[in-house]
Amino acid sequence: MTQLALRSIRKSFGAVDVIRGVDLDVAKGEFVVFVGPSGCGKSTMLRMIAGLEDVTSGTIGIAGRDVTTTAPAKREIAMVFQSYALFPHMTVGENIGFGLKLAGRPKEEIARLVMGVAQTLQIEPLLDRTPRELSGGQRQRVAIGRAIIRQPKIFLFDEPLSNLDAALRVQMRLEIARLHARLGATMIYVTHDQTEAMTLADRIVVFNKGRIEQVGAPMELYERPANMFVAGFIGAPAMNFLPAELRAGVQGHRLIIGPTELETSQTLTGEGAVIAGIRPEHITMTQISDAHLVARVELVERLGSQTYAYVEVSKPNLTLTLAVPGATKVHPGDHIGLRLSADNMHIFASDGARI
């Protein structure tokens, strides 16, 4: 069942077109993550779904009802922001129950529901504290509690974890995943964090300049990006792009990259100048004698389980990123050979579309 239906949504602020025709269906219970560069319109899109911002044109449906002009309070959605915006003078319990109190619900019912939410989020011992007596992660849990208690049709999260330190982000990410599994709620989540997007999403929506570039399951976007934008955006470190020439061979196609010629078993069409995309983890280091390309190592970053090497190739002239096992012996200044796996390459036309 469709829980959210966006139809031809456009939004302009004066002469600036911020959202330029967005169509999207989100199923009931689905976890959808919005990603895209800063300023591409993710927050504006969420705010329009919430009703905090009018649409310039298009329609928004929630659970089968057209809510395009419905007031925010009547849309049955709850939004959690990056800044928790808790009431500082109220206790945790009062913060969580505030919406129900405004709605005039009986005291005993509010107390019971607040306790239920506190148990779900494991913050019962904190109910009598004020927000200033909480850590960042605990505050964010209270903000989520305030959203859950209203049993909304859709949860909207706008970078809810970006104020937290790295360890806490991982912990809260797991808690949000558990919460989603337990509540079976429909969630739309904006993040800049690749790992959050890949791990939390049923589907990722990649935005660029107010439009959707691609929608798909995380591994679909990783394995079959529809264009160079998505290819470069999903995956960290980012995909490498090499100028190449595509030639039809007797069986399958050949790719000419600088001095090297590779055969590929991929089903491709056409010939001529293309761009070959290859992820850092699909380039391997080898002896110079059996290399496809020769490179000089410029920088090495050791992350523990993985090592990233930034290398300079002279033919063709470009810089590539390699991701190799953590203990690999590689040092700045080394001359190394590279092998490229043609079957792991993504071939794009000059306009950026996948071939």
Ligand X SMILES: Nc1ncnc2c1ncn2[C@@H]1O[C@H](COP(=O)(O)OP(=O)(O)OP(=O)(O)O)[C@@H](O)[C@H]1O
Torsion of CA 17, 19, 22, 25, to 10 degrees: -160
> Which range of residues in 42-50, 56-64, 214-222, 234-242 is near Mg ion by CB under 5 A?
42-50
For residue 33, state whether it binds ligand X (rule: CB under 6 A).
no
Report how far apart, in Å, the C-alpha atoms of 113 and of each of 21, 98, 119, 126, 251 are. 40, 12, 10, 15, 66
- Return the residue matching tokens 């595509």: 246
Torsion of CA 74, 76, 80, 81, to 10 degrees: -30
CA distance 122 to 109: 20
Considering the complex, state which of residue 23 and residue 223 has its C-beta at the smaller distance from ligand X.
23
Q: How far is the CB of 44 from ligand X (least distance, A)?
A: 3
Q: How far is the CB of 204 from ligand X (least distance, A)?
A: 14
Report how far apart, in Å, the C-alpha atoms of 314 and of each of 87, 285, 309, 322 are. 59, 16, 16, 16
For residue 3, state whether it binds ligand X (rule: CB under 6 A).
no
Task: Residue 13: name its binding partner from Mg ion, ligand X, none (Cβ under 5 to 8 Å by kind).
Answer: ligand X
> Which range of residues in 11-19, 128-136, 212-220, 244-252 is near ligand X by CB under 6 A?
11-19
CA distance 295 to 242: 14
Q: How far is the CB of 233 from ligand X (least distance, A)?
A: 13
For residue 18, state whether it binds ligand X (rule: CB under 6 A).
yes
Task: Residue 87: name its binding partner from Mg ion, ligand X, none (Cβ under 5 to 8 Å by kind).
Answer: none
For residue 39, state whether it binds ligand X (rule: CB under 6 A).
yes
CA distance 239 to 291: 20
For residue 321, state whether it binds Mg ion (rule: CB under 5 A).
no
> Which range of residues in 42-50, 92-100, 226-234, 330-338 is near ligand X by CB under 6 A?
42-50
For residue 44, state whether it binds Mg ion (rule: CB under 5 A).
no
Exactly one of 9, 30, 41, 154 binds ligand X (CB under 6 A); that residue is 41
For residue 120, state whether it binds ligand X (rule: CB under 6 A).
no
For residue 138, state whether it binds ligand X (rule: CB under 6 A).
no
Asked if the bond preceding 237 is cis, omega within 30° of 0, the reply is yes
Q: How far is the CB of 162 from Mg ion (least distance, A)?
A: 10
CA distance 27 to 40: 24
Residues in the chain: 355
Considering the complex, state which of residue 41 and residue 216 has its C-beta at the smaller distance from ligand X.
41
Q: How far is the CB of 196 from ligand X (least distance, A)?
A: 13
For residue 189, state whether it binds ligand X (rule: CB under 6 A).
no
CA distance 65 to 81: 25
- Return the residue matching tokens 């790295």: 166
List contacts with Mg ion (CB under 5 A). 43
List contacts with ligand X (CB under 6 A). 13, 16, 18, 36, 38-44
